[in-house]
Structure 1
Amino acid sequence: MAVLSLLRRLSSRCLKLGPGIQPVIVSFSSHSFPRTRIPSNLVDTSGISAMVLYCIYGHSEFRNSYVFASLPKRRWFSSSVAAVLTVPKTSDGMTVDAIVDKRWPILDENECDWRSHAAAIALSVQLIKKRLQWKKMIIRLEHLSVALNKPDLWDDSTYASQVSREHGMLMAKMREVNGFEQELLELIDLIRLAREENDAELESESMRALLKMRRHSKEKELEALLAGENDSCSCYIEVCSDILQKPLVLSILCG
């Protein structure tokens, strides 16, 4: 009963932290306490989850209990970070960078050429990563992961909350880009399969999906450009100078 009371107090504390924050779900048996399970991705999704862990784990009575003492203290993020850092590939090992290196001509959107669509999307992915400063994001993610794996992280709950929140936000951004990249490569595999199997319907559906991705990629480029230090800007000027239509973004950003 004492534990139930503690969890209720902690849940109330969580709910006061801000709208949308949900208390962590715990489960235990009345016959053999404690038997508590904390989701493995608790601090690996968003700032909200980080705040939940902060208000639970930051409470000394709960942190020092057998419940948290029995949880793994290290390498909570290894598998998820590795997944984010893995470069997506087609079934034959082709990456987005490899597609760009092939320099397939980029034709008008109305042309039913999957290579043209794929090349345009691949260039967009490269540009998005450049605007997001992808290499710096990887280095920062690795540093944050090291910090999160330290067993004494939650000795300073304020710092731990900041680190886990930033880690979650960074992971979310990188997963979104990787997901877009993976979708492109999967569609390329589908088109190849459709042609091998003479499946006109599958090929047509995959082509439509590629065209939709190509159009959507322009929106993602703009989102990436106006993120971070340019977040307060409302517009930009873009000039396409070469045959690959690779954009050259001028340093004219409207505030």
Structure 2
Amino acid sequence: MAALRCLLLLLFAPVLQAADVLLLSEENPPLNFTRAGQPSGFSVELVRLLAAQAGDRAEIRMEPWTRGYSRAQREAGVGLFSTARTPERESLFQWVGPLMQARTCFYSRRVDNLRIDSLEDARRLRRLALPRQWYSTDYLLAQGFDNLFTVASQDKMMHMFALGRGDLIVASDIAVPQLLGLRNLRMEDVQQQHCFMEHESYLAFSPQTDTALVARWQQALHTLYRDGRFQHSYRRWFADRPLGPRLEAVLGQVTR
């Protein structure tokens, strides 16, 4: 009888330990990536702190961006990070943040000797390979770019760039070193060109997620701002990188 009871407990343990929220992310170091088979990165560390502060159980899972982006718009209890908050996306999600501020720029191969000073300059190029449903892809499409070739992932983007099949890549200044590393490229191999967008990254919950849970997580983030845990985690990952003026302003408002 005792053995049967133990077996039943083992069988139902996964149900009893079910997560309150499912948090999806993509491979995008240093914010979110897999290390030794486990999710890691600044944003991963931060959402774990948020879950603990909010008192919720969270499962973190790495998925391709397009799949996670779709699920986070239609499934209750699902969040997606790190997600750029843009006017076009505002009504698609419930937002918790900001978590990070970054600048988005074009990058060319240094050997190509290009000079891109504006969106118009980039629009005249032969081809830009960009992942589907990236905020920068959506933005450039809205600006009338007809030379975009959309791909399934940032790895595919870098593959085309390394082979010379894309004239430029688009990346945030915080992620570009790791993106280049996917194809054994270095910062010395590329030239930063026109920077056309600054954005803040958020945790984006689906519209179907309980609004009380979203509010609880936003309040948990404010607690991390006030007690210094957010700043401590940021400095661990980005010792030489300033927070950025917008994020500084948010912290100032919450902590004063």
TM-score using structure 2 length: 0.23
Rg comparison, structure with higher value = 1
Larger helix percent: 1
- Which of structures 1 and 2 has the larger relative contact order (alpha carbons within 8 angstroms, sep 6+)? 2
Larger strand percent: 2
